[in-house]
Amino acid sequence: MSLDTTTLIAILAMAAVTYLTRIAGLFVADRLVLTGRAKAAFDAIPPAVLVAVIAPTALTTGWAEAIAAAITAVAAFRLPLLGTVAVGVIAVVVLRNLI
Amino acid sequence: MDQANPFVSTPRRDIQAGLRDIAPVAVAALPIGLLFGAIAAAKGMSTLEVLLMSSLVFAGGAQFAAIETWISPAPVLTLAFATLLINARHVLMGASLTPKVRMSRVQTLLAYFFLTDEAWALSERRALERPVTGAYWFAMAVVLWANWTLSSTIGAILGSFLGDPERIGADFAFTALFIGLVAGFGRSRVTLVTVAASAIVAALVHYFIGAPWHVASGALAGIAAAYLAAPQETRS
């Protein structure tokens, strides 16, 4: 088993940042009351980040990936998480063989 | 079990309640952990590196995002910034939960290492009836943490035997996973505007400028779009 130094630093940085976000709420519990647009912007962070990460794969790789992403999105509102993943993976394998 | 005298809280009962509440979540997370480990191995991470990341970071969304954009050598600042963006929601979760937990400051500092969407949601639900004790919290937290660390490590070991991930569509698995996670945020107008702005900007930036700039620019576009699309007055 190997351990790359830069990878280790990246893991430790991710761990430190994550722990800080986890305990920060403890110190702002009395003060952090977001309302209106500020709350909407804060609530939008997780979906905005998740979409930004996958957008290149989903939209600009090829037709198979783009169509599979659309099929997955339809499934996502009807199936549990694992079912959604299964539909997406099967769709992309089938479409790559067809297109 | 709690029905006999629901208002008496003993550590034993709290541990049992924690285990009972977390069990279905742990079962659902098991294949996700295997998947993470397998994809991380396919991207070139060693089993030890996967074990360290899952046990120390313990945040699925941030870990999948890191693996999706993984290159060697690892871009430390980019990964840290993406992690901060994805996990910023923890601040609100911790702020909301803190008045409801019955633990000392030091215990809470240790307890919140294990703060996840799932443990938070279950604790908020339990807090409607009674305070969240350390026994309840740590029973849930340790099970979920051990489950995630073990399943992703096993996934990394098995993944190195799977070979080319494209052949079985495994490279698309996290794209599908993220679509499923995004769907969990609902179909409100603000969410749809957020998703559209983030997707378009991220795809364009990736196409014309390249990785890893699409993550931050797409995310910021989505956040700005949510700010503009939301009504000015409080509505929550």
Q: Is A97 on the interface with B (CB under 8 A)?
A: no
Mean of all residue pLDDT scores within chain B: 86
pLDDT for position A75 = 96
Alpha helices in chain B (DSSP H): 11-42, 47-56, 60-68, 76-87, 89-97, 105-111, 117-127, 134-162, 173-183, 189-208, 213-229
Q: Is B19 on the interface with A (CB under 8 A)?
A: no
Which has more pLDDT, B72 or B129? B129
Evaluate if residue A69 carries a pLDDT over 60: yes
Residues A68 and A98 reside in one and the same domain: yes
Residues B22 and B75 reside in one and the same domain: yes
Residues B155 and B217 reside in one and the same domain: no
B222/B228 Cα distance (integer angstroms)? 10
Which has more pLDDT, B8 or A42? A42
Residues B198 and B88 reside in one and the same domain: no
Name the B residues in 91-150 with CB < 8 Å from any A CB: 91-99, 105, 108-109, 112-113, 115
Residue B132: beta bridge partners? Answer: B101
Residues A16 and A43 reside in one and the same domain: no
Is residue B109 a part of any domain in this protein? yes
B133/B137 Cα distance (integer angstroms)? 6
Residues A17 and A51 reside in one and the same domain: no
Name the A residues in 47-86 with CB < 8 Å from any B CB: 47-60, 65, 68-69, 72-73, 76-77, 79-82, 84-85
Q: Tell me how close the Cα of B92 comes to any Cα of chain A, in angstroms.
A: 6
pLDDT band at B6 (very low <50, low <70, confident <90, very high): low
What are the tens digits of pLDDT across the range B44-82? 899 999 999 999 999 988 898 888 778 878 889 989 988
Residues B9 and B108 reside in one and the same domain: yes
pLDDT for position B163 = 64
Contact B199 A55 (CB under 8 A): yes
What are the tens digits of pLDDT across the range B166-180? 677 777 877 888 898
Residues B14 and B83 reside in one and the same domain: yes
Is residue B141 a part of any domain in this protein? yes
- What pTM was computed for the model? 0.74
Residues B27 and B125 reside in one and the same domain: yes
Residues A23 and A56 reside in one and the same domain: no
Provide mean pLDDT across the span B130-154: 95
What are the tens digits of pLDDT across the range A13-42? 999 999 999 999 888 866 667 788 988 887
Residues B160 and B217 reside in one and the same domain: no
Residues B9 and B109 reside in one and the same domain: yes
A55/B127 Cα distance (integer angstroms)? 38
Do residues A72 and A88 touch, judged by C-beta distance below 8 A?
A: yes
Contact B48 A3 (CB under 8 A): yes
Give the DSSP letter of residue B72. S
Residues A41 and A27 reside in one and the same domain: no
Q: What range defines the domain where residue A11 resides?
A: 1-32
Evaluate if residue A81 carries a pLDDT over 80: no
Evaluate if residue B160 carries a pLDDT over 80: no
Residues A44 and A1 reside in one and the same domain: no
Q: Is B209 on the interface with A (CB under 8 A)?
A: no
Q: How many CB atoms lie within 10 A of CB B168?
A: 14
Q: Domains in chain A: how many in total?
A: 2
Q: Domains in chain B: how many in total?
A: 2
Residue in B with minimal Cα distance to A9? B76
pLDDT for position B1 = 46
Q: What range defines the domain where residue B92 resides?
A: 2-168
Residues A60 and A90 reside in one and the same domain: yes
pLDDT band at B205 (very low <50, low <70, confident <90, very high): very high
The interface predicted TM-score (ipTM) is 0.83
Q: What is the DSSP string of B172-211?
A: GHHHHHHHHHHHTT---HHHHHHHHHHHHHHHHHHHHT-T
Residues A42 and A89 reside in one and the same domain: yes
* Residue B139 CB burial class (10 angstroms; 0-12, 13-18, ≥19): buried
Residue type, B115: L
